[in-house]
Structure 1
Amino acid sequence: MKLQVDGNDIKTDENGIFKITGKSTPNAIISIDQPAKKVTADAEGKFELEGQIPSEKSHEVKILAQKDSLEELEKSLTITPHDEYVQKVLAKKEQEEKEIRAKAEAVQTADSLIAKAKASLNPTDLAKARTYINENQYLAIQGYSAQLTQINDAITAKQDQIAQDKAKKAAEAKKAEEDRKQAERKPSSGNTVPSQGNKQQPPAPDKNQQTVLITATGSKYHVRKCGNGTYYTATLAEAKSKNLSPCSKCY
C-alpha cells in the first residue's frame, strides 16, 4: 500500500476551492475528513480530490488511503486559503453580522413603537408602528398582526366611549339650559313682589261675627259699657236678630 501526495501545503483559489492530487495503490479509496470527500484512484493509482474549505483560516486535514485488507496509510496536509477568498469570507461575515445587528435594532424599534401605541391608544402612534414594520426589510407584519389588531380594537373602544361621554354631556347641558329657561318663565312665589294693580287685599272681616255688648232689657247694642246695667257679649248677628239697633253713643 502506498500514498504519495503532490505537496504537503495546499493553496486554494480565490473561491476557496482546493485540489489534492497524488498517487496511491491502483483502485485504492482516497478520503479526507474536513470537508468529507472520497475518490477512487485509477488503474495507475492516480487520484484527485477537490473541495472547498469551510472558513477563511488555514486548517489541517487528514488524507487516508484504503484498499481491501491492505494496511491503511494516512498523511496530514495543511490547506491555506487564497487571500482574496479570505477577504470574501470576512466581508460576508461582516455583512451577516451587520444584518443581525440591523434586525435586532429593527425589532427593538418596532417593540418600542408598539408599546407607545398601546400606552397612548393614539391612532397616529399605531399608524407609525404599522408603517415602520411594513417598510422595514427585516420585519414581517404577520409577526405583529395580533398586537396591532389588539391595539386597534382598544383605540376603537376608547373612541366609542369618548363619543358616548360627549353625547351624554351635551344632553345634560341641553336639559340644564331648558330647566333654566323654564325657571325664568315661572317666577318664584317667595321672591316675586306683586304689582300694585294685582296686589291681593286681605278678605274683609265678617261684621256679623263682630262682638258687641247687649243687656237683657235694652233695645240697643254697644261696643262698650254704656250706662248702668248688666252687659252680655253677643255677635252683631245675634244682636240684629233680636231687633236691637246700634247705640248712638257708641257708633
Structure 2
Amino acid sequence: MNTRNGTGGTQWLLPDWPDLPDNVGVLCSTRRGGVSPAPYDDGQGKGGLNLGTHVGDAPKCVERNRDILRAELPSEPVWLAQVHGTRVVDAGTHDTDAAPPIADASFTRERGVVCAVLTADCLPVLLCDAEGRMVAAVHAGWRGLADGVLQRTVESMRAAGAGELMAWLGAAIGPNRFEVGQDVLDAFLQHPGADEALVRAAFAPMNLRPGKFFADLYALARIALAGVGVPRVWGGDFCTVSNSGRFYSYRRDGVTGRQASLIWLK
C-alpha cells in the first residue's frame, strides 16, 4: 500500500494493485486531515476526516470532509445506505442528489461515476475487470460475507458484461482482533471451504475468552471470491483495530468515524 499526503495533513492510501488497468482510479481515505473533533478526530489531537453522516458527527464537519474528498475525485461519489445486506445497485443509474440507495455494493460501466463504501472494521472490497470496462465497491461485514454479498456483486457485474475480474481488499479488522461468538462461526461453516480459514483463524488460542473465536475476514473473502472464479485478489495488509493513528475502528472505539474506499473509470 502506498500513501500520498495532501494539504492540511490529509493522508490518502493508494492500493498496491498489480495489473490494475490504467483507466481505473482507486483511492482510500484515512482518518487524517479533516475537521471533525473527537471522537471523530485523527487520533492525534487534530481534526479527523470522518466521512460518515450517520455516526453522530456534526453535519457541517462531515460536509467539509466530503468536500476535501471530492477534490480528489472526478465526481460526487455514489454513497450507499449500507445495511449489512447483499443488495447490489448500478451506480451509473443513480442520481447523486437523491437519497443514497439502500445497498451494500455498487458497480458501474460509466466513466467518471465513483463507487464508494464506508467502513470502520468491516471489509471494503474493490473489483474491476481486466479490460478496465467495469468497477465495483463492496461493503463486506461478516453478515454480508456470510450471506453472499461478494458472490452477488460478481454475478451482477458478469450479467452486465464484465470480463475477467480481479479484486483488492481494503483495511479491515485483522484476523487476531476479530473475536466472535458461535453464531458467527456457524454462519461461515455453512460455506464450502470456509472451515479451513476458520480452523486456522477462529481457533487461534491467543487472547480469547471462553466460548469465543477469531474470524479472518480477509481469508473468508478470498475463499468466497475464488468460489466464483475470482482468484486474483490483492490487499488485506492492515488491521483497523491495531492502527489507531490511521484508521477508524468501531470495535476499538465504539463511537467513531468512517473511512471510504472508492473506485471509478477514468
- TM > 0.5 fold call: no
> Which category describes the TM-score, using the shorter chain as reference length?
under 0.3
Q: RCO greater where, 1 or 2, for CA within 8 Å and sep 6 or more?
A: 2
Structure showing greater radius of gyration is 1
When the two structures are superposed, what TM-score results if normalisation uses the length of structure 2?
0.19
